[in-house]
Structure 1
Amino acid sequence: MTNLGSFISGHAQEYPDKTALITSQRRLTYSEYDERTNRLANGLHTLGVHKGDKVATVLEGCAEYAELFFACAKMGAVMVPMVTRRLDDEIDALVSMSESSILVVASDHSERVAQMRARGLLRDLRYLIHIGPAGPSERGRAEEGILDYEQILAEAPADQPPTTAGGTDPVILLSTGGTTGLPKLAIHTHESLLWNVFNFHWNVGFRHDDVCLTNLPQYHSGGMNCFTVVNGVLGLTGIIVHHFDPAEFLRTLEEERVTYLLLMPPVLYDWLVKAGADKYDLTALRVFFTAGGNFFNRDKVRANLPHSEIFYLYGQSETVGATTILRGPSIFSRGDSVGRVQPVMDWRLVDALGEDVEAGVPGELVLRGPNLFSGYYGNAAETDNAWRDGWFHSGDMLSADVDGFMYFEGRTKDVIKTGGENVYAVRVEAALTAHPAIKEVAVIGRPDPKWGEQVCACVVLEDGHSVTAEELVRSCRAALAGFEIPRAYFVVDSLPTNPVGKILKQQIRDAIEEGELRPLGAQGASS
């Protein structure tokens, strides 16, 4: 029964002086990493945290994030990272939903949390642990359960904490990235996260001397599971970014001789190019991993990083990180494919009746395998709805070619029905982003008395560009059937997103229906 924390201890014995973590503030060897996670695990135990208890966090990227995860793993507790961009009431609800008894917060959010508590939120916490100085209103209140992170470590023994946790025991609750309502908390175990490490290692082939960097926050499944956990289990060197600054990011890539870069979404690469990526020595970078939306700038990445192998992934919190991976030449020869399903998972594409669809026909992706989540914490109804007949129903529509390469078609709720035909929003979005004036786009359906629904597009323009509806219609005709071409186009400065970056299409629909957005001056194509 493997415990994820045991990997840190094993690496500390094998190569104690190897650098494990790098931040702008400090560097930790594996020996120090192991000692600090042992002390933290023992300190949490002293506070009454036992196997299965929940420890929530409100943190940006920091070394303590990684320490907390592996300390919780070592002693059997369950980490519950909060997406810091969420509203206060949402964080309060998720902390309560998870039954967390401890919240760990760093100085950049300490006063926010203090104000939340002053309003009566987070009332069920037993302890609030501060990394760095506490907010002005909560300093010097240890008697009220407000504790200092470093003091807990200093007062706790460095011995290996005893635990019986591992295997199928929960180790983290991940917020799903839903676009409506409060997110669910997907339960992942030591085993499911370990299988994700195997998946990544199978595809990437990590090396002992790899130095890994990402811009993803650690509350994100990618930042935590595809970076922090992968690095710790495989004994790699990880660089943790607190705040994304393109110029500083590039300096770090060069100075630390970074070999593995996980950068999402693809648009962020353009920021590095604008910051002068061509002026830095990036030849050490052998792996460039990206995800999130249409990989529109793949040719630019290849031109700027000729020595790097390029990977693209599609995934969900429920599958830990990567559901499919596309790599190397396939990125350029397979069009808009998101790759093949990871080999550890069985998969099917099914219609509304649960029957398998043929190659090229969109269907809902259903999965099973040891890396999948075991359920939604405290939500049996949603768990039963997601897991049916032994398969996880992803809610994502994909199609597959005869070679097993997948093509994302949209969410099951993101299919527009017009005149008896199904229009997949992601297909229309891909056609529109091919236009040089379009930076981002969201395609939605709105009620239509004749056709049932009308296809509409909400677009963000590239700086300095303008466009007409007629131009967009002409551009779409080369790639789409007549019924797929949007009938109305709306230009906005930015698309509304949730805290993990997913587009809130319902907000766009509401803004259109309420007259807040006005269409460009032409109708789309005829059916």
Structure 2
Amino acid sequence: MTMNLGRFITSHAQEFPAKSAITVGDCSLTYPELELRTTGLAGGFAGLGLGRGDVVAAVLENCVEMPELFFACAKAGTVLAPMVTRRVDDEIDALVAKCGARVLVVGPDHRDRVAAMRAAGMLAGIATVVEIGPPPTADGVLAYEDLVASGAGVPLPVGVGDDDPVILFSTGGTTGLPKLGVHTHATVLQNHYAFQWNIGFRPQDVCLHPMPPYHASILVTTLTHMIVGASTIVTPKFDPTEFLSIIDRERVSYVFLMPPVLFNWLVDAGIDDYDLSSITKLFVPGGNFFNRDVVAKYLPDTELFYLYSQTENTTTCLLRGKDIFERRQSVGRLDARLEWRLVDDEDRDVPPDTPGELLLRGASVIPEYFADPEETARAWRGGWFHTGDMLRRDPDGYFYFEGRGKEVIKTGGENVYAVRVESVLVEHPAVREVAVVGAHDEKWGERVCACVVPAEGAAVDPSELIAFCRGKLAGFEIPKTYHLIDALPVNPVGKILKRELTARIDGGELGQVGAA
């Protein structure tokens, strides 16, 4: 038996005939409306000549059409490839070509951009552009609503599911063209099971998140909520006041915030003026959960969760409950569905409490990178997926993230893992946020630098921070220079741009306020 993810929408349409499935801004769809529209859209893809395994690319921001496209592709056996809209035109052009898409769906924010790209000779493989929003004005461009209407009653393929690809996610690499991770019906469902088992959603939940549609987190936000039959609200952009208003007005029961600093923005926006008592669960992925005490202060009755994961496997480790406060450095326990190893540079297992690269194997891990046999072979060598992340595991079975293997700071022959240093510094009351990076040093090769965003009204004294680190970090791990910054630079999905910080330090733009 094959499991096609589109079946969940069909089932929920029958069970919940009046329930809201997805709301983005002023647009909202019930489950019956979503069932009708996704079936029509799937038939529309067939009418365009798309068959099983063909790719539909999308350039859009948060909108109700994103989950429509996903479940329509699931029903049709086609594959959705959402583009990271913050990338430059050349990169989008190359990624669309790499995935072999013949149809491109464009949101209203990017219609002029895509038209200009095509006029410049880009997107040459695209046979049909489908525009969301007002009727198209350009020749040869199809209106999205016309495509939905055209597929009514068109027979859909049978037997689609399990190992069929359903969505491609960019890996978010910082150099070169990103890889495209292939998630299948089975890997999406297995990641849903892992998340559902650990968190426990119910159809009556109202879920809120601000994540962009091209980030893999939608596998544990929008899609997980809709697979279980809950109602999902997605904010087009993150506006703290609007976010708080939605929680109050819609009685939101589950909130997903990435990165953790967004909660500080809610505090700054006047969190005490809103009723947040409906929130039963708050989930924070990515980065160090540095502000957990602040969250607990404002949400004392809310269950807190922290997630460590990859694009290739969206539910890897979870930390929850009292462990959030008692295991402050940990990323939690590994999901029981996964096999794991921690290995050295030669893929030999390392002893307990020793950093090693995390290797994974399991039904939730993607099987390959799209059209990239060399990277697939490198990442899956020896039958294990090599995450590129350095972790260690204590005797109690808790994992600790030490950093990306390629981001280790090498100073005087010693390896320093930035996350370990950050997790200590952020506990100091004068530190609101911190990023630790390596900068060029004539004597040591690299020196450890701390870029600090001060807590409100606090004065950062490097000598205090150095004293605070002693006994908690080895001498070579303690940052040598300290740099004040108003805000840490982040990319569109909230990851800190550490290379930018290193460049600003090396270039003298980010001066130091103290040194060890």
TM range (shorter): over 0.9
The corresponding residue for 1:417 is 410
1:205: Cα distance to partner? 1.5
Q: Deviations over 1:91-139 (max 9, x none)?
A: 11211111111111111221222222222222221111111126xxxx4
2:399 to 397, 406, 411: 406
Matches within 5 A, 1:33-48: 33-48=34-49
Matches within 5 A, 1:14-29: 14-29=15-30
Q: Quick check: 1:83–1:500 contact (8 Å CA) kept in 2?
A: no
Note if 1:266 corresponds to 2:274.
no
1:273: Cα distance to partner? 1.9
1:9: Cα distance to partner? 0.9
The corresponding residue for 1:523 is 515
The corresponding residue for 2:179 is 184
Q: Deviations over 1:75-101 (max 9, x none)?
A: 000000111222222211211111111
| Percent identity for Structure 1 against Structure 2 | 53
Q: How many residues align?
A: 515
AA paired with 1:325?
Answer: L
Cα distance in 1 for partners of 2:321, 2:496 equals: 28
Note if 1:340 corresponds to 2:338.
no
Cα distance in 2 for partners of 1:74, 1:357 equals: 44
Note if 1:106 corresponds to 2:107.
yes
Note if 1:164 corresponds to 2:159.
yes
Note if 1:303 corresponds to 2:300.
no
Q: Quick check: 1:177–1:183 contact (8 Å CA) kept in 2?
A: yes
AA paired with 2:14?
Answer: Q
Note if 1:330 corresponds to 2:330.
no
Cα distance in 2 for partners of 1:269, 1:427 equals: 22
Note if 1:4 corresponds to 2:11.
no
Partner-residue secondary structure (3-state), 1:396: strand
Cα distance in 1 for partners of 2:219, 2:427 equals: 32
The corresponding residue for 2:498 is 505
Partner-residue secondary structure (3-state), 1:315: strand
2:272 to 254, 268, 278: 278
Cα distance in 2 for partners of 1:443, 1:126 equals: 47
Cα distance in 2 for partners of 1:107, 1:60 equals: 9
AA paired with 2:84?
Answer: V
Cα distance in 2 for partners of 1:437, 1:113 equals: 46
Q: Quick check: 1:179–1:502 contact (8 Å CA) kept in 2?
A: no
Matches within 5 A, 1:168-247: 168-222=163-217, 224-247=218-241
Cα distance in 2 for partners of 1:511, 1:28 equals: 46
Give the unaligned 5+ runs of structure 2: none
Question: For residues 304 and 495 of structure 1, do their structure 2 counterparts lie closer, same or farther at Cα, with a shift above 3 Å needed?
Answer: closer
Partner-residue secondary structure (3-state), 1:188: strand
The corresponding residue for 1:429 is 422
Q: Quick check: 1:179–1:503 contact (8 Å CA) kept in 2?
A: no
The corresponding residue for 2:88 is 87
TM-score in terms of structure 2 length? 0.95
Partner-residue secondary structure (3-state), 2:80: strand
Q: Quick check: 2:212–2:493 contact (8 Å CA) kept in 1?
A: no
Cα distance in 2 for partners of 1:43, 1:458 equals: 51
Q: Quick check: 1:439–1:462 contact (8 Å CA) kept in 2?
A: yes
Greater shift after overlay, 173-182 or 431-440?
A: 431-440
Note if 1:317 corresponds to 2:311.
yes
Partner-residue secondary structure (3-state), 2:221: helix
AA paired with 1:43?
Answer: G
Give the unaligned 5+ runs of structure 1: none
Note if 1:484 corresponds to 2:481.
no
Partner-residue secondary structure (3-state), 1:395: strand
2:138 to 137, 141, 158: 141
RMSD: 1.9
AA paired with 2:243?
Answer: F
Question: For residues 332 and 160 of structure 1, do their structure 2 counterparts lie closer, same or farther at Cα, with a shift above 3 Å needed?
Answer: farther
1:510: Cα distance to partner? 3.3
Q: Quick check: 1:35–1:158 contact (8 Å CA) kept in 2?
A: no
AA paired with 2:300?
Answer: P
Q: Deviations over 1:144-189 (max 9, x none)?
A: 2x11111211232156623331101100110112222221100110
Q: Quick check: 1:445–1:453 contact (8 Å CA) kept in 2?
A: yes
AA paired with 1:280?
Answer: Y
TM-score in terms of structure 1 length? 0.93
Q: Quick check: 1:36–1:158 contact (8 Å CA) kept in 2?
A: no
Cα distance in 2 for partners of 1:468, 1:188 equals: 47
1:449: Cα distance to partner? 4.6
The corresponding residue for 2:72 is 71
Cα distance in 1 for partners of 2:319, 2:387 equals: 19
1:323: Cα distance to partner? 1.2
Question: For residues 280 and 505 of structure 1, do their structure 2 counterparts lie closer, same or farther at Cα, with a shift above 3 Å needed?
Answer: closer
Cα distance in 1 for partners of 2:488, 2:179 equals: 23
Q: Quick check: 1:86–1:499 contact (8 Å CA) kept in 2?
A: no
Partner-residue secondary structure (3-state), 2:466: helix
The corresponding residue for 2:56 is 55
Q: Quick check: 1:211–1:237 contact (8 Å CA) kept in 2?
A: yes
Q: Deviations over 1:317-375 (max 9, x none)?
A: 010x2211111111111121111111111111112222222221111111000000111
Q: Quick check: 1:315–1:324 contact (8 Å CA) kept in 2?
A: yes
Cα distance in 2 for partners of 1:245, 1:36 equals: 29
AA paired with 2:70?
Answer: F
Q: Quick check: 2:391–2:402 contact (8 Å CA) kept in 1?
A: yes
2:463 to 443, 462, 470: 470
